[in-house]
Amino acid sequence: MRQLEGHILTPQGFLRGVMTFGDDGRIAELRGEPVHEREVRAASCPLLLPGFIDLHVHGGGGHDIMEGGDALRRVSEVHARHGTTAMLATTMTAPVVDLDAAFAAMHALGLQRSAAGARVLGVHLEGPYISQEKLGAQPDFTRPMVASELQRWHALFPIRVVTLAPEVPGNMDLIESLCAAGFRVQIGHSAGNYEDGKQALSKGAGSFTHLFNAMTPLHHRTPGMVGAALAHAQFAEIIPDLIHVHPGAIRVALRAIPGLYCVTDSTAAAGMPDGEYRLGRHTVTKCLGGVRLPDGTLAGSTLTMDQALRNLVDGLGLSLSDASRHVSTHAADYLGVTDRGRLSTGAWGDVVRLDRDLKLMDVWLEGSSIEHTDAE
């Protein structure tokens, strides 16, 4: 049986002890003595945290989910090397033919996890059912939702999250049926107002896509979609690269939304040098730590989840246990996944091992380290 030793972050707090994995890849045993969080970064032994969960991944390592082929496998491996142990492959707003091809490619690869790749839990369908007024970096192929095409794609590769603009004619009326069918509905790329957001939440929408970005902002007399999120949401995504959202706005969201979870919204440029990359049908440029369209519009990010953790702790001053919930546990809770995003007996052995500077030492995916599986 494989074991890891160090300061282990459990749902009850840190233990100084040992974690044992069973042959099934799940955590078989946790034993040790409780230790106060203020001591863990001062000590020399490793920090063991739940593997990161990223529900908004477009690409990485030069590959884009929309390009088809084995892009999904390659992207999952890039992000696993940065501590992401579970993720959603995220598509772009695109013509039907492009989305058909992307889903066909994912179907051909199947849900079997690559030995060195993050577990792909399904798809985040970001559009095409969004507002033409709030495209952000999405190509202009928006259209009303057609339930039959969504079901066709879902049959090829499971769709877990659907981003839509509730004010687009017909979309609001479909939220309840989408939720009843098991999809998580998110509000995003929306020109809707506060009332639209509140109504969508009442019909079952559960989260907001990259909060603050590509939605109507908060004003004290017109609170907008951001106001609806801050006033009423239990969950929302946020991109903590400190480029998409000012640290002060992140602090507001942290105080207002209990289940705020971090995403990378990463593109093919993640983990790559400066240059030009594909994002769906767009060409984007990586420069100075960001990714932009030719007109300067932010177009996804180069963020990885290990850097997101460091930004929360060292940049925003969150405790390590609190930051871990925002990069792991809350995303799992939003999806209704109870055996990931936490280190407890019976959960999957998805673990990141970090040094006192929060630099990754290694990553364990379902009870095996990436290095170990590569060697095999």
Cβ distance 295 to 241 under 8 Å?
no
Residue 103's Cα: distance from chain center in Å? 19
The reply to whether 265 belongs to the active site is yes
**Measuring CA to CA, which residue among 305, 331, 309 is closest to residue 320?**
309
Cβ distance 166 to 207 under 8 Å?
no
Q: One of 98, 241, 265, 333 is an active-site residue; which one?
A: 265
Q: What is the 3-state secondary structure (H, E, C) of the chain?
A: CEEEEEEEEECCEEEEEEEEECCCCEEEEEEEEECCHHHHCCCCCCEEEECEEEEEECEECCEEHHHCCCHHHHHHHHHHCCCEEEEEEEECCCCHHHHHHHHHHHHHHCCCCCCCCCEEEEEEEECCCCCHHHCCCCCCCCCCCCHHHHHHHHHHCCEEEEEECCCCCCHHHHHHHHHHCCCEEEECCECCCHHHHHHHHHCCCCEECCCCCCECCCCCCCCHHHHHHHHHCCEEEECCCCCCCCHHHHHHHHHHCCEEEECCCECCCCCCCCEEEEECCEEEEEECCEEECCCCCECCECCCHHHHHHHHHHHCCCCHHHHHHHHHHHHHHHHCCCCCCCCCCCCECCEEEECCCCCEEEEEECCEEHHHHHHC
Cβ distance 98 to 309 under 8 Å?
no
- Annotated catalytic sites, by residue? 265
